[in-house]
Structure 1
């Protein structure tokens, strides 16, 4: 019943795969009517095929992403959106993967290993834990080889993205104009004429206040409201009632002992001679053996790695591969590395990447955390685990009983010994705890809930489960004049005060055009004259409307007795721009200029990437099983 609640605790793995660009879905339906089996082809892209099992895996990942926004129960209205997103993601992944594979993009095993070991989701205690990593993948039905292959593909696609960005060409004149505009700063001065200065000058009579009410009566409505009664229970409440002994926690520790045992780690360096492309295998072997002889002759391993190694990621660091646990490298490499003694250098080792010479630099023995070291955190974890199990059981009972009770919760409260609570004056867009679950609010405001007081399904949020029903409903009503008379008076006073402030601003602008100065008028009208200096376009030192006015001032009007005004809710700003300084390319050193060019290139490159992906998608021949989105396929 509440399988979606359980999935929430293991669903984050979907976020580990790098996303690809989504383009508006354009579907060419094919005629592929067949019995839905896991190996059925449901999408064809050019000559590539997507099976039903592939589709279901991607669909699950999409569901998890939507659940992060909408919670575990996703609105029915979004089902087709998720199906479209799933379809388009699979199409784009297939197209991009085919392209990067054809173009020869490659990712080193070391880089894939670094991504995995540095991922905090795979770390436990002091660092990466292989058993935890394997358990997480297993819980998602994903094999280690499958995950690492998918990650490698996504990293290759990211190489394509970076390549398009880095190939964007910025001319010196384009970059200079960009710097001059974006880093331009302006200086000047302004007077603020506060509307509040004129509130005492405003007088209102009862007739105009009531007239405003009558003319704007539909603006003075109450919100639709409901009163709700609900039953809820949280993990924390259950945890307070749970009793267990130290021996129970010790048994839990023993049952999960592998989680608390760190693996042996080895720090190594290598020299790789690949035999891809024009380099044949025999030539690569001869070269690696010559390097081995030079090492035996006393030459520096690090210097030879820098000079000859084809692993660009490690060569510049003398071949350093960092720390690794068993299984992070390909089997042939891994087997030799974990057979070496510290300081020992291997004979040439052949892998799919070429020939390697491996040196073991340092070794960290694996260790087991003793129970006494982690007893406190383990006790808390064990209590939470028991509480979660009980919460699922109670949630199942709560859901069944609420469904049977239909439109009352008293019997459910009595059966489960829960307190029946009430929440009053709930609105659609309010800030109550119920509003944290938008779909629950939608159901509570639905006709069946309002007219028949039906019990809602059970919802899970904030480590709690809840079921609710509407007990009272109030439609929007026009507020009486007496209720909002003071509010209307405040509105009218603010409006009239602002009008007077704008009239005063016109007087000041007229006097400025007659030759008076800002400082003179500041004294005359008892207004504070303020300066702004080195104001840049992205600053937030002044209100946005005033910033827009300052940078909209033509350069020909600067320092030319040109004045402008901007009216805001709090008053009117009269301002003058006195200085403008174009951004200076010369003030930046070479490193800063390069960084700026990269930033601009990324903007342009991102546009190129979007165009490239769109063109690939438009040119692809895509066929989609017309039954894919129907009930014939249980997604």
Structure 2
């Protein structure tokens, strides 16, 4: 089977496919098997070396993954050497785990057959076209990743062996029928409750606080009353869209003449090919063709290129950019013309030119609207860059205001109100603009306004020049500004304490059998309601933490509701529920998977404990 894979990667059609396909493809988990040693190693696991190259590759892969996941936030984290070293250590830990698993798999004599590898390759969607394995795509992707068929198959074999070990561990966990029944009974349990609410807001309205209490709270919690750093900004906005204007026929004709290649279909040739292993075989094929043999029939029976052979040698229409050099240099100019025997990197070829499609140029009349749009956009972009140049020069020459830049460009200066990092005006809400405002580069000494910014381009078609007009550093808000807020907080805190103390006393009386204490306190139990374990209501969660009541009795508890009120909870009844079988199956599956994960983590922990692991210099960032 491996011979077939090697043969499939060695044919002339692959060169055509590589000319047509631009594809980024990552072969996960293969690279770490393919790079080798060097004395500067990262780690040795029971004598097996993990090289610097392997660690660098794993580190770069993890770095790229986190960059895609975190976006702009990653650039800030990447400047932290400690964070990057942490990523490197994580990558090394994963390589050590993989080495331990590889060794354990070898000890267990777990093996993957060629047939299993072949089925796995054929099943991968990345290698399929319309649900069927595409040999050409397979070869092109491997070539793009710099891998041979053998190397990829070997990496995949190790992946499959690891997966077989994981499956073996996962499949050892199960739940007994009785355990499942008890779990279902517990999860589906329902509880009937009543509740009496002590309104904290009503109590707060009756509270009083002194100026001394307010002042003391202010001194103790100053960090809660910080006013964020704030800015006022002056700016000039440039917009390419505002510079678009109609173009003349001469402009349209000129743009078309300069970009005629964009509307030109180059000459295309259609070839058929027969590929052989030896020159003698190719010569024999050529003699049969000259004797009148059918090209398609010979291609199907004689060509060693499986893809073109199935099509009778037909390679389809090829443009100059996608035509292999062997065909370009064959000297074929007439339809039906045969080449001689051509030596190539994949064997020997006999080629026939089947058809020629001359160069075709779309006339201007056919594409005029599209050309006019392009000419208009290009003209606006040119004007946009000229405008940026004027504004940039003027802003640099007069660095104490934007007046000169406004005069040079004919654009007005806009002044913002005060804003912080959390309230940037929508007009300026671009990462590049915010970075210029907040990074300190536009500030002068002692917080005074500094210089004008450089031209800041955003989204490709807009640009800004700005300066900081005024700045307020982060500071504690004055007491007078937050006095009312503190008073409300203190009143609410006093009310909450009073409500909790009242509830605790009522709870003690209720547990002592004094049933009339609620009415004496002006409280009434609400209607009974049934709650389940999935409820996010804190009152319901409290109910599930109470002991089950005896028949005809009530269990009491204290909780808070979603509004912060104190609630007395009466638990009257506990009953069993039921779950749909699908939900039961999913629950059991989740439990067994969780247990299997714990078992697998324990396996790795034991392997690490018993292993001899030595870390080298390459484990650290350089």
Q: Report the TM-score when normalising by structure 2.
A: 0.56
Question: 1:611 offset after TM fit, Å?
Answer: 1.5
Q: Aligned residue for 1:482?
A: 480
Of the two, which has the highest radius of gyration? 2
Counterparts in 2 of 1:308-323, with a 5 A limit?
none
Query: Of 536, 554, 559, which residue of structure 2 is paired with 1:561?
Result: 554
2:125 corresponding residue in structure 1: 116
Tell me the CA shift for residue 604 of structure 1.
0.7
Residues 83, 492 of structure 1: CA spacing in aligned structure 2 closer, same or farther, 3 A cutoff? same
1:462 Cα offset (Å): 7.8
CA distance in 2, matches of 1:476, 1:104: 65
For 1:254 and 1:611, locate their aligned partners in 2 and report how far apart those are by CA, in whole Å.
Answer: 65
Describe how 1:481-520 pairs up with structure 2 within 5 A. 481-506=479-504, 508-509=506-507, 512-513=510-511
In structure 1, what is the Cα distance between the partners aligned to 2:124 and 2:57? 22
1:573 to 567, 571, 576: 567
Q: Which residue of 2 aligns with 1:59?
A: 59
Q: Secondary structure at the match of 2:617?
A: coil
Please list, as runs of the form range in 1=range in 2, the aligned pairs for 1:349-364 lying within 5 A after superposition: none
CA distance in 2, matches of 1:460, 1:165: 54
Unaligned runs of 5+ in 1: 1-9, 20-29, 34-40, 259-330, 340-370
* Match of residue 175, structure 2, among 170, 179, 183: 170
- Note the C-alpha offset of 1:602: 0.8
What 5-or-longer segments of structure 2 have no aligned partner? 1-21, 31-36, 269-303, 313-361
Q: What is the distance in 1 between the residues matched to 2:64 and 2:265?
A: 30
* More off after superposition, 604-613 vs 408-417: 408-417
Aligned position for 1:83: 88
Residues 220 and 109 of structure 1, relative CA distance in 2, 3 Å threshold:
same
Superimposed CA distance per residue, residues 418-456 of structure 1 (whole angstroms, 9 cap, x where no aligned partner): 99988776656777889996x998997677776777999
Distance 1:507 1:338, change over 3 A: farther
Aligned 8 A contact 1:222 1:476 in 2: yes
In structure 1, what is the equivalent of residue 203 of structure 2? Answer: 198
Residue pair 2:531, 2:540 contacting (<8 A) in 1 also: no
Task: Tell me the secondary structure at the aligned position of residue 525 of structure 1.
Answer: coil
Q: Could you tell me which of 542, 551, 563 is aligned with 2:544? A: 551
Q: 1:168·1:601 contact (CA, 8 Å) conserved in 2?
A: yes
Match of residue 616 from structure 1:
607
Q: Is the 8 A contact 1:31 1:626 kept in 2?
A: no
- Change in Cα spacing, 1:588 to 1:620, as seen in structure 2 (3 Å) is same
Q: Is 1:157 the counterpart of 2:148 in the alignment? A: no
Structure 1 partner of 2:75: 73
Does the 8 A contact of 2:44 with 2:615 survive in 1? yes
Is it true that 1:529 corresponds to 2:532 in the alignment?
no
Change (3 A) 1:431 1:445: closer
> 1:17 maps to what in 2?
28
For 1:124-178, what per-residue CA distance to the aligned partner results, in whole angstroms no more than 9, with x for missing partners? xx9999988888877x755484667656644543343233111124344444443
Matched residue SS, 1:566: strand
Q: Distance in 2 between matches of 1:47 and 1:499?
A: 65
Distance in 1 separating the partners of 2:258 and 2:493: 71
Equivalent-residue separation in structure 2 for 1:435 and 1:135 (angstroms): 43
How far apart, in 1, do the equivalents of 2:512 and 2:111 lie? 73
Task: Give CA-to-partner distance per residue, 1:43-92, whole Å, 9 cap, x none.
Answer: 44345444444443323212212212153635321221222223223333
SS at match of 2:226: coil
Q: CA deviation at 1:489?
A: 2.5
Do the aligned partners of residues 600 and 482 (structure 1) sit closer, same or farther apart at CA in structure 2, a change above 3 Å counting? same
| CA distance in structure 1 between the partners assigned to 2:596 and 2:266 by the alignment | 49
Deviation at 1:571, TM superposition (A): 0.7
Q: Residue in 1 aligned with 2:346?
A: none
- Please tell me whether the aligned partners of residues 45 and 623 of structure 1 are also in contact (alpha carbons under 8 angstroms): yes
Deviations 1:319-346 (A, max 9, x none): xxxxxxxxxxxx999899989xxxxxxx
Q: Is the 8 A contact 1:566 1:572 kept in 2?
A: yes
Return closer, same or farther for 1:485/1:179 CA change in 2, 3 Å cut-off: same
Distance in 2, Cα, partners of 1:133 & 1:53: 26
* 1:572 CA displacement: 0.7
CA change 1:165–1:530 in 2 (3 A) is farther
CA separation of 1:524/1:237 partners in 2, compared to 1, >3 Å: closer, same or farther?
farther
| Distance verdict in 2 for CA 1:447–1:98, change over 3 Å | farther
Match in the other structure for 1:277: none
Shift of 1:575: 0.5
Contact 1:32 1:626 in 2 (8 A): no
Q: Secondary structure at the match of 2:227?
A: coil
User: Structure 1 CA distance, aligned partners of 2:597 and 2:528?
Assistant: 39
On the 8 A contact 2:123/2:133 being kept in 1, the answer is no
Q: Secondary structure of 1:188's match?
A: strand
**Contact 1:202–1:493, Cα closer than 8 Å, also in 2:** yes
Deviation at 1:529, TM superposition (A): 0.9
Q: Secondary structure at the match of 2:476?
A: coil
Count of residues in correspondence between the two structures: 472
CA contact (8 A) 1:191 1:530 kept: no
C-alpha RMSD of the superposition = 6.1
Shift of 1:186: 2.1
